[in-house]
Homo-oligomer: A and B are copies of this chain.
Amino acid sequence: MWQLYQFPLCPFSRKVRLLLGEKGVAYDLIRESPWQMRDEFLDLNPAGTTPVMVDEDTNATLIDSQAICEYFEETVERFPLISGTAAGRAEIRRLVAFFDQSFYGDIVAPLLHERMKKRLVERAPPDARILREAMKRANTHMDYMDYLLDHRSWMAGGTMSLADIAAAAHVSVADYLGGIDWSSHEPVKRWYAGFKSRPSFRPLLSERMEVIAPPAHYEKPDF
């Protein structure tokens, strides 16, 4: 059985969990707080990041959310998530990188720092200016996602792909932390409402990070 080292608000672990859920791969969760820089965890992954997956039986270790997703895409045929032509696969990977880097760096990382790390580690209040800036950027990113969904059924084309999973993972963490204003983003809202109802997503939405409560609409498929 695979073990997945993660914490509830890690967007990269959510991305992996959504893929594993769609592919029907079983795993146990192991709680890891990477900001504590536990020696045993750094021995496992010198980069000190979640998610990490370890196969209890073979001791195989997988590190980095994209390397993990590519691994299960290559080894589990069910529900291909990086499929199509080489150009189509490049478009899926472009958008995954876009969400993992731009959406994460502009929105999710500052929200996590201000609303989670400051509370858990520094016991300091969030910086309202940084939160406002992150929410403004979220609005710009959601405009771009609206544009994509005005032209395509799913983020990267005609079928659901890892791009949708990466987007949903990051949006869900930003939404948990109160960073998303859902008014005037109908296409993304419709896409996300559908995603919220997926069996792969339900367990994630019901989990809570200690001391931080999500907004009332967070878990509702109809919001």
Interface residues of A, Cβ cutoff 8 Å to B:
46-47, 60, 62-64, 66-68, 70-71, 74-75, 86-87, 89-90, 93-94, 97-98, 101-102, 144
Given contacts A63-B94, A67-B94, A71-B90, 14 further A-B contacts (CB under 8 A): A47-B97, A47-B98, A62-B94, A63-B97, A64-B97, A67-B93, A68-B90, A70-B89, A70-B90, A70-B93, A71-B86, A71-B87, A71-B89, A74-B89
9 A-B pairs with least C-beta separation = A67-B93, A64-B97, A71-B90, A63-B94, A67-B94, A67-B90, A74-B86, A64-B94, A75-B86
Which residues does chain B contribute within 8 Å of A63, judged by CB atoms? 90, 94, 97
Chain B nearest CB, measured from A171 CB (Å): 17
Whether A93 touches B66, Cβ cut-off 8 Å, given contacts A47-B98, A98-B47, A101-B47, is yes
> Chain B: which residue is nearest A62 at the CB level?
B90
Which residues does chain B contribute within 8 Å of A75, judged by CB atoms? 86
Q: List 19 A-B contacts (CB under 8 A).
A: A46-B144, A47-B98, A47-B101, A47-B102, A62-B94, A63-B94, A64-B93, A64-B94, A64-B97, A66-B93, A66-B97, A67-B97, A68-B90, A70-B90, A70-B93, A71-B86, A71-B89, A71-B90, A75-B86
> Chain B: which residue is nearest A58 at the CB level?
B87
Q: How far is the CA of A75 from the CA of B102 in the complex (A)?
A: 27
Which residues does chain B contribute within 8 Å of A86, judged by CB atoms? 71, 74-75
Chain B nearest CB, measured from A150 CB (Å): 15
